[in-house]
Structure 1
């Protein structure tokens, strides 16, 4: 992938009720008292496609040949299934979540980043997935599948994933061994004005990882499950770092541009950035800090008021298949959820190694993002944590005001 292609990349990004889907469609029913109105039940069987499929995504999540006629995994799906895809592209995770909450909107599915997935699962605004109806589901990375499982119920199908690394310019920055290179005020000051951070409240988790080691008395366990005291401490770290940050990048191309143009020498990055820049002969490398790395996964989820369930299940099968996963990975610069995309003559071995596809040891060490909640969801079992709204407030106060 070349530097000029980076604008194609999808944006970074910011459920449970169920209904009986018949062979030809979805039956409406009323849920319990704690469920949103008119939420569909989990499918038991499938029938012929309904001819229409309405999806919601962030930019770049799917391609139908509009950017490049050679890059199209929508048209073949339509030809094979007879399901005509309608696409609603939103610019932020918040906009996506709001569409799923709107009871007058009926989208069949959406490609959810972790903050959207977690919030809507907790709010019971996602239709559960019957994985027996998704061919190839068991071929997807086991850890990724578990991220969408609650109390034995599956709420989505993994699509793509990535990890958050430390990228540095080898000409001016010694290999960083810790997140302290980015968050310790004295060390960050060595490269003041030439640091980059991704512009997302979930980036607070990397500051929390740094604090987990630097200030063990805070007793941080899960960097996505922070008490008010822990969140406040992370906010102070980010506020102290702010004078040294040259750019908070929203789109992946922003980080590439900053390093390529010499405006950045150290910062948060994805394997994609390292891959693109090294292919362009830029002197960068990636480091895995001693504290570990965080990660993210986007997943296809079924809308709470799914109108075309049979087409949606065919889409879930299609996007989980190795050939489609190969196209998605090559075009968007992310790791495919199906490691079979690296089998045969699909993805090149160099790509798969750079993105850690199928590397179970690496994947098991990644702390994958989940939506922060007051109930400390994410497996820690703690209570009294802070939710995403509080994270967003802390992020704005530390980096914007």
Structure 2
């Protein structure tokens, strides 16, 4: 699918395609699970109720309506509806998800990778093809969110949410609203800047600052952009993922790059925070639901994915986590402050310059991984010049002490 399809569709499809959905939904017979969750009565939700199945679900942190802060506990409702138990755990980056699965240390039934990681895992045989007869609610996903290069036939993935990256900043600590990714290199904010703690997102920001695509085209390009990340290190307070919530909400940093949906959550907690899409362009991403090829409960996992696509469940999730919905029936039901949010549903000025991560060739991916590791280890060990200075200082002190002792000995001899 060409990117232009999304840029046009996101602007119009939410209103036009979703406008008729509530009326159609009202005619469908539903089953009430609780006061907030109702699901289609035409689906056999209880067919595994007597099978003592436990699904291992692995999702991003803070990425589902979990019952906290008066939200709906959608996992608990699923267990009540189906009789299936859910072992729900979380990860903080696509790379940690991949490493955990690649190591073979755990077996999962449903995972939530982002676009490029879907493509990588599919290429490596780590994902199972989906049986869409078991996922009829897939029909409710907007066409504009389907058919991307990472999974052109949607063989392995069902969109869960989508969003963009941008800059979240504290208006009490930043003189003027930033408009460029270059603000993250500004020395006036030294030790007051947070940075992504994963290679693709961090690389994308530095690449955009330099005028490159966020998808590297060569090993040499990776080296150039990674050097820019090294140049940033003197102003970075910490490399973070989920830790960003406490730091930004608590006023511990001036600015940070992060995902738009999470920015909305942080702004709700701290009204001094604001969000902007930098002028150079941003990452547009689709996070999807997939089933690993070694899942022990594939049909039950497909039932879970179908449940997550039910409009009432999608509404509960998007209303709580703030991310943008690919389910056409959900957008119309969102509160107006979210439905018309320029953060959650940005306009053409943002989307026309947005890029999607692609699955990288092995050579470039290996270079990105090694260069990122080198940059991080350099940061953790301190600056090389500082080590030299400290060693030199230690030698000077040592020589001074030796000289002082010799001088004292000479005086004593006289």
TM-score by length of 1: 0.70
Asked if 1:353 corresponds to 2:351, the answer is: no
| 1:193 aligned residue | 191
CA contact (8 A) 1:325 1:337 kept: no
- Equivalent positions of 1:47-196 (< 5 A) are 48-49=47-48, 52-58=53-59, 59-62=61-64, 65=67, 71-89=72-90, 93-94=94-95, 96-98=97-99, 100-101=101-102, 106-114=107-115, 116-131=117-132, 133-147=134-148, 149-150=150-151, 152=153, 154-171=155-172, 172-183=174-185, 188-196=186-194
Match of 1:288 among 257, 274, 277: 277
| 2:406 aligned residue | none
**Structure 2 stretches of 5 or more lacking a match?**
1-44, 382-414
CA contact (8 A) 1:197 1:248 kept: yes
TM-score by length of 2: 0.68
CA contact (8 A) 2:318 2:325 kept: yes
| 2:208 aligned residue | 209
1:156 Cα shift?
Answer: 0.9
User: CA offsets, 1:44-99, max 9 Å, x none?
Assistant: xx99445524223144445665x578531123223333333233545664553355
| 2:230 aligned residue | 239
| 1:15 aligned residue | none
User: CA offsets, 1:20-60, max 9 Å, x none?
Assistant: xxxxxxxxxxxxxxxxxxxxxxxxxx994455242231444
1:204 Cα shift?
Answer: 1.0
CA contact (8 A) 1:128 1:155 kept: yes
CA contact (8 A) 1:113 1:299 kept: yes
| 1:217 aligned residue | none
User: CA offsets, 1:181-206, max 9 Å, x none?
Assistant: 224xxxx1122222221211121111
Higher radius of gyration, 1 or 2:
2
3-state DSSP of counterpart to 1:318 = helix
3-state DSSP of counterpart to 1:161 = strand
**Structure 1 stretches of 5 or more lacking a match?**
1-45, 213-219, 376-383
User: CA offsets, 1:296-355, max 9 Å, x none?
Assistant: 3322111202332221221111111221112222333322332432323xx311123337
Task: Return the structure number with greater helix share.
Answer: 2
Q: What is the alpha-carbon distance in structure 2 between the residues aligned to residue 151 and residue 111 of structure 1?
A: 17
Q: What is the alpha-carbon distance in structure 2 between the residues aligned to residue 85 and residue 262 of structure 1?
A: 36
Aligned residues: 331
Asked if 1:258 corresponds to 2:267, the answer is: no
1:230 Cα shift?
Answer: 1.0
The root-mean-square deviation of aligned C-alpha atoms, in Å, is 3.3
3-state DSSP of counterpart to 2:189 = coil
Q: What is the alpha-carbon distance in structure 2 between the residues aligned to residue 169 and residue 61 of structure 1?
A: 23
3-state DSSP of counterpart to 1:336 = coil
Q: What is the alpha-carbon distance in structure 2 between the residues aligned to residue 164 and residue 359 of structure 1?
A: 11
CA contact (8 A) 1:140 1:338 kept: yes
1:169 Cα shift?
Answer: 3.3
Match of 1:229 among 207, 220, 242: 220
| 1:6 aligned residue | none
| 2:376 aligned residue | 396
User: CA offsets, 1:362-393, max 9 Å, x none?
Assistant: 55643233454337xxxxxxxx6655533542
1:208 Cα shift?
Answer: 0.7
Q: What is the alpha-carbon distance in structure 1 between the residues aligned to residue 258 and residue 66 of structure 2?
A: 28
Q: What is the alpha-carbon distance in structure 2 between the residues aligned to residue 157 and residue 325 of structure 1?
A: 13
Q: What is the alpha-carbon distance in structure 2 between the residues aligned to residue 235 and residue 388 of structure 1?
A: 8
Distance 1:63 1:290, change over 3 A: closer
| 1:12 aligned residue | none
| 1:35 aligned residue | none
| 1:26 aligned residue | none
- Equivalent positions of 1:309-348 (< 5 A) are 309-344=298-333, 347-348=334-335
Q: What is the alpha-carbon distance in structure 2 between the residues aligned to residue 87 and residue 385 of structure 1?
A: 30
Distance 1:122 1:324, change over 3 A: same
CA contact (8 A) 1:295 1:368 kept: yes
